[in-house]
């Protein structure tokens, strides 16, 4: 569990590739727990921690959506009310059997 979270933090600037459901959801759970704990301690500190963790979260979310066969642009739905529910549905999707057409070798 902590290994997958640590890898996500180390790959904070890697928006290419894929992230498994396991890797993403453990990162997401710890992300929410850390923000909740820090907000309990001090709300201003929570804002600073959220800003620091935003880039790693967007990176692992982008890799997770790509792994689920969806466009990373779906993350923009988090900016509208209840849009997070749509994005969470895509985060929970299993990996498709075949890679998306944009990632298939040119001979197929």
| Mean pLDDT value across residues 48-65 | 92
pLDDT, tens digit (0-9, with 9 covering 90-100), for 15-26 = 888 888 888 999
Q: Where are the domains of the chain?
A: 2-95
The whole-model pTM stands at 0.78
What integer best gives the mean pLDDT of the chain? 85
Say if residues 42 and 67 touch (Cβ distance below 8 Å): no
In angstroms, the first-to-last Cα distance of the chain is 37
| Mean pLDDT value across residues 67-82 | 93
């Amino acid at each position: 569990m902590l290994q997958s979270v640590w890898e996500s933090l180390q790959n904070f600037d890697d928006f290419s590739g894929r992230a498994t459901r396991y890797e993403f959801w453990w990162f997401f759970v710890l992300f929410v727990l850390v923000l909740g704990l820090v907000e309990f301690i001090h709300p201003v500190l929570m804002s600073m921690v959220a800003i620091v963790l935003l880039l790693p979260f967007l990176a692992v979310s982008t890799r997770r959506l790509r792994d689920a066969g969806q466009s990373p642009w779906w993350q923009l739905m988090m900016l509208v009310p209840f849009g997070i529910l749509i994005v969470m549905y895509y985060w929970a999707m299993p990996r498709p059997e075949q890679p998306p057409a944009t990632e298939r070798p040119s001979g197929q």
